[in-house]
């Protein structure tokens, strides 16, 4: 049995107009099945349904199919990305692409169910949010759950480290991500491997996916290391933190200091998930003994490499940031990582937000600057039992409050936030209301209240932040 095809073009030759295609990887330039994506672009099949985390925004990701007007349906965790306009957003907004927003963990579970012949699953993810529209809700115990139906596709494109001629697959480090689930859920799964070997050359207990799930294998013709060299400075710019917001002649904490203050909420033994933006910076200030959990499937990772250091192309986190390993680091799939979060294994989740309500409702899915929503894994992360801490600037750049009585943007989670740390204040969400616990240096409770919509309860132990 030899499942190896001579070229990416040969491997996609029978993909017709109207086909559904799962795209593996997170959508980043160095972890996409680029050879297969480019071959499908060149073939020109139209009216495709793409199922993925995100089509991305680089020429090495599935967005090239969108730009080529080959996609009319998209099922993904991201339709838009804050502060990064794309052709995907434009086409969704124009009604050219039918878009369904699916949280990352739910996406994995729906594809797992489809692969296993299960009709659907009940999940707490998304209850009370934009994704529950039109779905059955059921209460188990004292908690509501959504019915999510199974999902499958005609084809799947899966990037891999190695594959053998029988279709057995090995992923490497963060290269697991969505791929062990995605590869199982298509009628025809095509693996794009960096290295193709003969059957028997892979150690049997090192195989991540059995060849029973893989129909075609092709050797990648794409140079990931070239993409890495281009992506690294782009990523560094994307993760740069801006200057503090000026409010008259006063400023609050810098974003780095917000992250530093958040780190003081952590203790040895905690497992902590950090979101994109300011939360990512918390990793620079972790107390000894705190372990990081990333939904992409890296656990207890080391710090980011120094700018002058080389990076391991397969070691990165949920924000696509390069990371290092240390004694105790391990890797798993997104499916397992989200199970850890929903199942209560993660103690603390630290996220950014567009808005937070006094009741602890969270909105970080969409803002008016975005043409389409993007949720990533946030809905799954706040659906578990973890303490949720929000890091953000207290106001918009034009000094409109972001801490509100009620969120005006679509919700990510209902009454899920425990603590809010901004550039001006530390506030605790309680049944009685929002309690002001700490003020930024140089700011009074009265000044903070003037920039906060709900009435703040002043803690009898109110103090200035210690940094």
Q: How much is the pLDDT for 86?
A: 94
Question: Quick check: pTM over 0.75?
Answer: yes
**pLDDT tops 70 at residue 370:** yes
Question: What's the whole-number mean pLDDT along residues 377-394?
Answer: 97
Q: How much is the pLDDT for 243?
A: 66
Q: Give the span between the Cα atoms of 401 and 20, in whole angstroms.
A: 43
Annotated active-site residue in 148, 192, 265, 295? 295
Q: Give the span between the Cα atoms of 5 and 191, in whole angstroms.
A: 10
| SS3 of the chain: helix, strand, coil, percent, to 5 | 25, 30, 50
**pLDDT tops 70 at residue 26:** yes
Strands (E), 249-380: 250-251, 271-274, 291-294, 298-299, 330-331, 348-351, 355-357, 362-363
Is residue 256 annotated as part of the catalytic site, yes or no? no
**pLDDT tens digits for range 285-325:** 999 999 999 999 999 999 888 888 889 999 999 988 889 99
Question: What's the whole-number mean pLDDT along residues 335-348?
Answer: 97
If phi > 0 it is left, if psi is from -120 to 50 it is alpha, else beta; for residue 18 that is left
| Three-class DSSP category at 158 | strand
pLDDT band with cut points at 50, 70 and 90 for residue 81: confident
Question: What's the whole-number mean pLDDT along residues 222-233?
Answer: 82
Q: Give the span between the Cα atoms of 162 and 171, in whole angstroms.
A: 7
**pLDDT tens digits for range 386-398:** 999 999 999 998 9
Burial class (CB in 10 A: 0-12, 13-18, 19+), 385: exposed
So what's the architecture of 252-464 in CATH?
A: 3-Layer(aba) Sandwich (3.40)
Share of the chain above pLDDT 70, in %: 97
Average pLDDT, rounded, for the chain: 95
Residues carrying CATH 3.40.1080.10, the chain: 8-219, 252-464
CB-based contacts of 408, cutoff 8 Å, min separation 6: 355, 363
Q: How much is the pLDDT for 242?
A: 63
Q: Classify domain 8-219 at the CATH topology level.
A: Glutaconate Coenzyme A-transferase (3.40.1080)
Alpha helices in 94-223 (DSSP H): 104-116, 179-182
Q: How much is the pLDDT for 239?
A: 53
Look up residue 347 and give its two tokens.
Answer: 């103690």
**pLDDT tops 60 at residue 381:** yes
CA-to-CA dists, residue 419 to 28, 124, 416, 428, angstroms: 31, 21, 10, 5
**pLDDT tops 70 at residue 210:** yes
Q: Give the span between the Cα atoms of 184 and 112, in whole angstroms.
A: 7
Q: Are 232 and 322 in contact (CB under 8 A)?
A: yes
Could you give the angle at the alpha carbon of 433 between the alpha carbons of 428 and 435, nearest 5°?
A: 35
**pLDDT tens digits for range 234-257:** 655 545 556 677 777 788 999 999
CB-based contacts of 445, cutoff 8 Å, min separation 6: 436, 439, 456, 458, 462
**pLDDT tens digits for range 155-175:** 999 999 999 999 999 999 999
């Amino acid at each position: 049995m030899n499942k190896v095809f001579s070229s990416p073009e040969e491997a996609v030759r029978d993909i017709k107009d109207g086909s559904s295609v799962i795209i593996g990887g997170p959508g980043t330039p160095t972890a996409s099945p680029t050879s297969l994506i480019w071959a499908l672009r060149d073939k020109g099949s139209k009216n495709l349904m793409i199922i993925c985390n995100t089509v991305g925004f680089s020429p090495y990701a599935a967005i090239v199919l969108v730009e080529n007007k080959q996609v009319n349906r998209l099922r993904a965790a991201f339709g838009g990305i804050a502060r990064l306009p794309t052709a995907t957003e434009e086409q969704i907004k124009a009604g050219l692409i039918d878009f369904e927003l699916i949280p990352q963990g739910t996406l994995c579970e729906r594809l797992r169910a489809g692969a296993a012949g299960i009709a659907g699953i009940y999940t707490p993810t998304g209850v009370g949010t934009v994704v529950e529209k039109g779905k059955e809700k059921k209460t188990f115990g004292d908690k509501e759950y959504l019915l999510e139906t199974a999902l499958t596709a005609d084809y799947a494109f899966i990037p891999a480290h190695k594959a053998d001629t029988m279709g057995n697959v090995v992923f490497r480090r963060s290269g697991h991500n969505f791929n062990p689930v995605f590869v199982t859920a298509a009628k025809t799964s095509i693996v794009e491997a960096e290295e193709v070997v003969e059957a028997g050359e892979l150690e049997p207990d090192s195989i991540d996916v059995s060849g029973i799930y893989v129909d075609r294998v092709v050797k990648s013709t794409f140079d990931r290391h070239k993409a890495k060299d281009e992506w690294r400075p782009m990523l560094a710019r994307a993760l740069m933190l801006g200057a503090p917001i000026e409010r008259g002649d006063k400023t609050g904490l810098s974003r780095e200091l917000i992250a530093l203050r958040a780190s003081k909420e952590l203790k040895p033994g905690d497992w902590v998930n950090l979101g994109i933006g300011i939360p990512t910076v918390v990793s620079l200030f972790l107390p000894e003994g705190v372990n990081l959990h990333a939904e992409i499937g890296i656990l207890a990772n080391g710090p980011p490499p120094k700018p002058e250091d080389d990076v391991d192309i397969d070691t990165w986190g949920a924000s696509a940031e390069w990371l290092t390993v240390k004694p105790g680091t391990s890797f798993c799939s997104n499916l397992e990582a989200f199970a850890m979060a929903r199942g209560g294994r993660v103690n603390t989740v630290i996220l950014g937000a567009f808005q937070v309500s006094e009741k602890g409702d969270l909105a970080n899915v969409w803002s008016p600057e975005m043409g389409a929503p993007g949720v990533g894994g946030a809905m799954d992360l706040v659906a578990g039992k973890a303490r949720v801490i929000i890091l953000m600037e207290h106001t918009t750049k034009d000094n409109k409050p972001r801490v509100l009585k009620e969120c005006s943007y679509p919700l990510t989670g209902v009454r899920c936030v425990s603590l809010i740390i901004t550039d001006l204040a530390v506030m605790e969400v309680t049944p009685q209301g929002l309690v002001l616990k700490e003020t930024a240096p140089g700011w009074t409770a009265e000044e903070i209240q003037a920039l906060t919509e709900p009435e703040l309860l002043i803690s009898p132990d109110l103090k200035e932040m210690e940094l």
